Structure 1
Amino acid sequence: MRRERATPRPDWAQKVESHGLAFHRTAHPEHLPRPYWDESVQYVFDMDEVLALEETVEELHRMCLQVVEHVVTTGRYHVLGIPEWVAPLIEESWRRRDPHLYGRFDLRYDGTGPAKLLEYNADTPTALVESSIAQWYWLQEVYPGDDQWNSIHERLVDRWKQIAGGLPGPAHFAWTNGDETGEEVMTIAYMQETAQEAGLQGTAIAMEDIGWDSRRERFVDLDENEITTLCKLYPWEWIVAEPFSRSIPHAPTTWIEPIWKMVLSNKALLVLLWELFPGHPNLLPTFLNTPANLTSYVQKPLLGREGASMRIVLPDGAEQRTEGDYGREGFVFQEFCPLPDFDGQHPVLGAWVVHDESAGLGIRETAGLVTDDTSSFIPHRIAL
């Protein structure tokens, strides 16, 4: 793994926008001199390196599924701060094997030692359009003789084909009106496109426009059509906190992602992974609501997003904090493992999983210690 400089295409902005990355301007703070999509640099990998990372990702995913089984079997939902009334829904969903679609592991990797899991975005992962589409077209135009760790699109279509046969009809694809950047709208639109390519027809809807028909005991759209399948870019922890969530047990709606993914979209997952697989080379020691014996650590809220509400205690005792309102459910304390330094920038590898298989890579980097909404997306290639 190495970082190389390159000359951006003169019309790069128009091209990435034409490929669906229309939010690259709005989702990035305007005052930053560096764009969100930055093809003035790139990360280059060897094929053997990527194959090894793929194996690591799939092993981590299998371990995460074992954590779900552990939680369902032991009833340790309290570790994750999951409400008691939700626990039976998770158990039923898991036992039914409700179909899951995708997720993104965030990894610390420097090209030499083993990759370390930072967190798993298993419910509403973003950076999908840029990982799947924008960087693939960049590769085809700029480095047509090279390869890329990227089968995300094909795997999504194939997975939708597997899922579609068990669905009762068309699907609805939902985002929230609270999204001011357009990122969620474009991401869920891309998800709908992959489903349609697989033969599953869909309708777009805002979460705020979903209604409840008390007579039929069904969720409905604005035309009173029943929502039989809902693919949402809206986190489960928000859903179960809203009044209409109490109707979920009464409706036969298929949810994508399924509610059992609440176990994986919670940073207490990192605590349970370390408990079940202590000393695993791809894990960092992580504890719930206490640093235990850690002297240098990152304090993360169980349900935080975009690097908000974090506290970092460095080896020299210095501290850094990020702003945010998360943390009411509690925190995890993960051993501090500094991101690698490439020319003063610190990359995080976003390794994608579709169903149960490794599917691709997206890289974000920042000059700071925390990968937040000021980070830039950097394309990658595999040198052949």
Structure 2
Amino acid sequence: MKRIAINERPNWQARAESNGFMFHTIDGERYWDERAYYQLTLAQVEKDLEDPTNEIHQMCMDLVSRVVDSEELLGKLSIPAAYFDPIRESWKEGHPHLYGRMDFSYDGTGPAKLLELNYDTPTSLYECSAQQWDWLDQCIQLGMLPKHADQFNSIEDQLTQVFSDLQITKPFYFASIKGSEEDKGTTDYLRMIAEKVGIQTQHIYLEDIGHNGKRFVDLKDEWIPHLFKLHAWEYITHEDFGPLIAGSDTQFFEPMWKAILSNKGALPLLWEFNKGHPNLLESFVDSDPSKSVQAGWVRKPFYSREGANIELHTADAQQVKVDGPYTDAPYILQQCAPLPKYGDSYSLIGSWVIGDNAAGIGIREDDSLVTKDTSRFVPHIILD
């Protein structure tokens, strides 16, 4: 895998904004960064990323099938007991899902190592799917990249198929939190794809969702039959509306069983059920988070997001500790697989699952070993 410098496209910001990508720059800093790209071979993509993503996804589905039948395991994931039955029912009844993302440490050689699962509210969907494909297409047109350059990216095509397979005929609401341009952009992108297959859609802010004593409703007191909510289940289970979910006739996306895969407590179970798998890292629940992290290990809270509250100690004595708000849940310890470094940047590969199939990758860069919400998104190509 190579990191290659390249000129930016002329007027790329205006083009991005005309396509709806309004958060390419955040707080004056580059989020989308096309001054470089990563080059992989087809064999690297297919053998080292696509195949393991499909295999690990099946392991994740097996994990869910085991956990829903075990109150002990549900409890180990720090899920409130009141939600055991609704989670179990959502799986047993086959509630459909849209997507998920796995994060890997991979430098182009050897097995990619799974760092995390992001299966409920994963970020970077639009930029991975539409924005980096537009970059590739225009760079080829401008002669900046070879005509036979490709990209591991069928995300939009596969999302289109997933929405089509849902056969939804009633209004589908897409919800984001007020004030988050990134979340609104992500939900707008999903709405656009849903509308392509004939689904009637509406946007609603999470704060504007109500309940009339029987059903979840919008500001006009209209029933919300289908709801994509860019809001994590671990938050919802501790909010006022949480207890109303079980008796609701709203179909939720992502479904409630995703709560099993949306916290890092799933990683020790994944290791336990598939011990020694070349793409997995040894992980276990940390019985004493007050102790220092030993060399070669990483400490992560169950519900940490965007690198917050991560404490990392590499085998060669590098140490990184990130502050954050996620201090009220258990922690795991995971074997450290440091991100590869290219120049001054450490790179993380996010591998997307759409429905039940590997569908593409996005690469994030940071100046530290921990990828955070400020980390840059850099495009990639396939070129042999």
TM-score range, shorter chain: over 0.9
Match of 1:253 among 250, 255, 268: 250
Q: Structure 1 pair 115/291, CA: closer, same or farther in 2 (3 Å)?
A: farther
Aligned counterparts of 2:347 and 2:316: Cα–Cα separation in 1: 23
Secondary structure of the corresponding residue to residue 73 of structure 1: coil
| Mapped contact 2:169–2:200 kept (Cα < 8 A) | no
**Corresponding position of 2:144:** none
**Which ranges of structure 1 fall in alignment gaps of 5 or more residues?**
none
Shift of 1:20: 2.3
Secondary structure of the corresponding residue to residue 192 of structure 2: helix
Identity %: 41
**Corresponding position of 2:160:** 157
Shift of 1:199: 1.2
For 1:13-92, list aligned pairs within 5 A.
13-26=13-26, 29-30=27-28, 32=29, 35-52=30-47, 53-75=49-71, 76-92=73-89
Aligned counterparts of 1:318 and 1:207: Cα–Cα separation in 2: 41
Letter of the structure 2 residue corresponding to residue 74 of structure 1: S
Shift of 1:46: 1.1
Shift of 1:296: 2.2
| Mapped contact 2:295–2:316 kept (Cα < 8 A) | no
Runs of 4+ in 1 over 3 A off after TM superposition: 290-295, 316-319
1:206 and 2:202 aligned: no
**Corresponding position of 1:331:** 331
1:118 and 2:115 aligned: yes
Letter of the structure 2 residue corresponding to residue 81 of structure 1: S
**Corresponding position of 2:129:** 132
Aligned counterparts of 2:96 and 2:89: Cα–Cα separation in 1: 13
| Mapped contact 2:169–2:199 kept (Cα < 8 A) | no
Q: TM-score, normalised by structure 2?
A: 0.94
1:344 and 2:344 aligned: yes
Secondary structure of the corresponding residue to residue 359 of structure 1: strand
Aligned counterparts of 1:50 and 1:338: Cα–Cα separation in 2: 20
| Mapped contact 1:266–1:303 kept (Cα < 8 A) | yes
| Mapped contact 1:20–1:134 kept (Cα < 8 A) | no
| Mapped contact 2:40–2:382 kept (Cα < 8 A) | yes
Secondary structure of the corresponding residue to residue 347 of structure 2: strand
Q: Structure 1 pair 133/275, CA: closer, same or farther in 2 (3 Å)?
A: same
Which moves more between the two structures, 301-310 or 135-144? 135-144
1:147 and 2:150 aligned: yes
**Corresponding position of 1:186:** 185
**Corresponding position of 1:268:** 265
Question: How many residues are aligned here?
Answer: 373
| Mapped contact 1:302–1:327 kept (Cα < 8 A) | no
| Mapped contact 2:294–2:313 kept (Cα < 8 A) | no
The CA deviation string for residues 44-72 of structure 1, in whole angstroms up to 9 with x for no partner, is 11112211121110001000111101101
1:277 and 2:280 aligned: no
Letter of the structure 2 residue corresponding to residue 90 of structure 1: I
Aligned counterparts of 1:238 and 1:347: Cα–Cα separation in 2: 29
| Mapped contact 1:294–1:335 kept (Cα < 8 A) | no
Q: TM-score, normalised by structure 1?
A: 0.94
Shift of 1:97: 0.7
**Corresponding position of 1:177:** 178
Letter of the structure 2 residue corresponding to residue 50 of structure 1: V
For 1:281-300, list aligned pairs within 5 A.
281-290=278-287, 295-300=295-300
| Mapped contact 1:102–1:122 kept (Cα < 8 A) | yes
**Which ranges of structure 2 fall in alignment gaps of 5 or more residues?**
142-146
Aligned counterparts of 1:198 and 1:315: Cα–Cα separation in 2: 50
The CA RMSD over aligned residues, in Å, is 1.6
